[in-house]
Chain A
């Protein structure tokens, strides 16, 4: 009797236990699905807002490269051509853009074109100097307001005074669409130009290069120092109070808010050492400080993971400690260290606050070519664009987020590749 009761209890307990199992599996699955949904929603929002930034609107403009207007001759030298009066050609082209334009209408039509049209007319001429004294049909960039209207990002049913384009301009745009004198093409400016006050010619090339230079500085500064520090701490340092204190503080350093490093950069690098403001050199130095503990922790973990028997084997054939460490232990720890480094760099890539502190938030309209030139960085660029009131910058900021995400994905992919490629089994 007693026995059978006990058996029933055991059976019911077993059922309960297996139910618990099921439940937990279900919770886990739900959690995973939720995070996936959030991720998909996030990506969808960014993509749906930003994909239009990869297209720009261009308008067909008839340009008369008259030598009188240009004040050039067919025999002009290259330098003279540089100084040609292209703005007059442009003015003329816009005056004749529609037949019989009144003076006030010309002003309105002018606003349908990007500020960059002068350059485009000039570049076309410099590439084809033989077009002098001919009329050319050229596709030129439209103003961001036209661009946004045609992309459907700005609405036409709001009152006229709250619109960028008034009713007359709208009718002109409609006329252009009807006559097929406007189309949308791939926006090369987004990838080849730096920031600009004019959304239609603002691009990420400047901030991308700035981020690249910054990351380069971070890598150059933090990687060797981190390897040196971790190898010393792991293999050479005596185990005493002081090294323990250092170890604890490295972990603390990894948790310091990044803006504190920014303040340090502002206070020390800029004000004491007088390094140039807003440059990748300073930005990189600050971010290197932030990345250092991450790399040290990863490097020490991978040094620890190398079996001690390898080092013993090297020492037993008469290698010095340094030889044993640098011939055998460090190479085996390198893949793990590189993975950690890339993750640290990815963190640095997305960091905004410290860069704002050291002035990388300045408006930089050209693409930097060196470490000591003022430049922007991708996350700061996004911040700047999000803040802008102009409609055209909204899609730009979403597109820049896509660029930074792709950059990050690529870095993580490299990290995964390195880990799989060099993973060793003992």
Chain B
């Protein structure tokens, strides 16, 4: 069907002496939404954070194995983390806009990467990013107000706008709706569906309904192992593994 964007092979992650991921191998396709599901502490967020090397922030975290993004190895000390992260945007569980104006929040990425030469260009990028994130109409009259003054759902869309402003190819979402009410969640899910046309999206979620609604591929993690991965429809209707069956039917987790 489509090309692989992210290819993980035998990824092991250790927090100190505790192993958190066991030989994860996964093939994430371009311009699809891949959902990572599984009970708490199963390692799905850890895996997500391996893809943009966010685990570097945790001193005791050691990652081994291979992850290739566009056929380039990223688990290596010679990887340019900054350029990797400009290619891979990330949206966090709790909306974390900078305590600056809405405009500055979105403008920060393009500015530090030197993507723009003039003020007009910057304005255009900010506006188009906010439009893509479906936030522009709500905030166009108050771009100078602090980003933290928005509602939770708006803040999360602001974070999405901030991520796409640097023109990434991949967007990682770590439970983006867990702090939001159902209406805001619905808006974000709709947005994810639109973003799929241009971006490869990997989303960690606790809500199986959400995974079923927004994703094309689903991977089920359990106790640090990847139990099953496949088309979302198949995983939710006819999984191969009995553990997956138990989880999606609510027998554990």
Tell me if chain B binds chain A.
yes
Report which A residues bind B (CB closer than 8 A): 238-239, 307-320, 323, 327-328, 332, 424-426
**Chain A contacts of B59 at CB under 8 A?**
238-239
What per-residue 1/0 map shows which CB atoms of B129-148 lie under 8 Å from chain A?
00000000000000000001
Is A317 within 8 A of B163, CB to CB? yes
What per-residue 1/0 map shows which CB atoms of B49-63 lie under 8 Å from chain A?
000101001010000
Is B92 within 8 A of A318, CB to CB? no
Instruction: For residue B208, give the distance in angstroms from its CB to the closest CB of chain A.
Output: 26
Is A318 within 8 A of B98, CB to CB? no
**Chain B contacts of A317 at CB under 8 A?**
85-86, 89, 108-109, 112, 162-163, 165-166
Is B99 within 8 A of A332, CB to CB? yes
A-B contact sample (8 more), CB < 8 A, given A313-B96, A314-B98, A314-B108: A313-B92, A316-B90, A317-B109, A318-B82, A318-B112, A318-B166, A327-B108, A327-B112
Instruction: For residue A132, give the distance in angstroms from its CB to the closest CB of chain B.
Output: 68
Contact residues of B between 20 and 72, Cβ < 8 Å to A: 52, 54, 57, 59
**Chain A contacts of B82 at CB under 8 A?**
318-320
What per-residue 1/0 map shows which CB atoms of B70-90 lie under 8 Å from chain A?
000000000000110110011
Which of A314, A323, A424 has the most chain B CB atoms closer than 10 A to its own CB?
A314
Is B85 within 8 A of A313, CB to CB? no
Is A318 within 8 A of B148, CB to CB? no
**Chain A contacts of B166 at CB under 8 A?**
317-318
Bound CA–CA A343/B97 (angstroms): 31
CB of B113 closer than 8 Å to a CB of A: yes
Bound CA–CA A327/B111 (angstroms): 12
Closest A residue to B146 by CB, please name it.
Answer: A424
Closest A residue to B56 by CB, please name it.
Answer: A315
Is A312 within 8 A of B108, CB to CB? no
Instruction: For residue B241, give the distance in angstroms from its CB to the closest CB of chain A.
Output: 33
Bound CA–CA A91/B90 (angstroms): 89
What per-residue 1/0 map shows which CB atoms of B97-121 lie under 8 Å from chain A?
1110000000011001100000000
Is B96 within 8 A of A318, CB to CB? no
Instruction: For residue A318, give the distance in angstroms from its CB to the closest CB of chain B.
Output: 4
Closest B residue to A323 by CB, please name it.
Answer: B112
Bound CA–CA A317/B105 (angstroms): 11
Is B94 within 8 A of A309, CB to CB? yes
**Chain B contacts of A312 at CB under 8 A?**
54, 57, 92, 96
**Chain B contacts of A307 at CB under 8 A?**
96
CB of B159 closer than 8 Å to a CB of A: yes
Instruction: For residue B177, give the distance in angstroms from its CB to the closest CB of chain A.
Output: 16
Is A318 within 8 A of B99, CB to CB? no
Is B148 within 8 A of A316, CB to CB? no
Instruction: For residue B119, give the distance in angstroms from its CB to the closest CB of chain A.
Output: 19
Instruction: For residue A127, give the distance in angstroms from its CB to the closest CB of chain B.
Output: 56
Q: A316-B54, A317-B162, A317-B166 are known contacts. Are A328 and B98 too (CB-CB below 8 A)?
A: yes
**Chain A contacts of B96 at CB under 8 A?**
307, 309-310, 312-313
What are some 5 contacts across the A-B interface (CB < 8 A)?
A238-B59, A239-B59, A316-B163, A317-B163, A318-B166
In the A-B complex, the 8 residue pairs with the smallest Cβ-Cβ separation, listed nearest first, are A318-B86, A317-B109, A309-B96, A316-B90, A318-B85, A313-B96, A318-B82, A424-B99
Q: A239-B59, A318-B113, A319-B112 are known contacts. Are A426 and B85 too (CB-CB below 8 A)?
A: no
**Chain A contacts of B97 at CB under 8 A?**
313
**Chain A contacts of B92 at CB under 8 A?**
309, 312-313, 316
Q: A239-B59, A426-B99 are known contacts. Are A318 and B109 too (CB-CB below 8 A)?
A: yes
Bound CA–CA A314/B97 (angstroms): 9
Bound CA–CA A311/B92 (angstroms): 12
Instruction: For residue A274, give the distance in angstroms from its CB to the closest CB of chain B.
Output: 46
Instruction: For residue B31, give the distance in angstroms from its CB to the closest CB of chain A.
Output: 21
Is B85 within 8 A of A316, CB to CB? yes
**Chain B contacts of A313 at CB under 8 A?**
92, 96-98, 159, 162
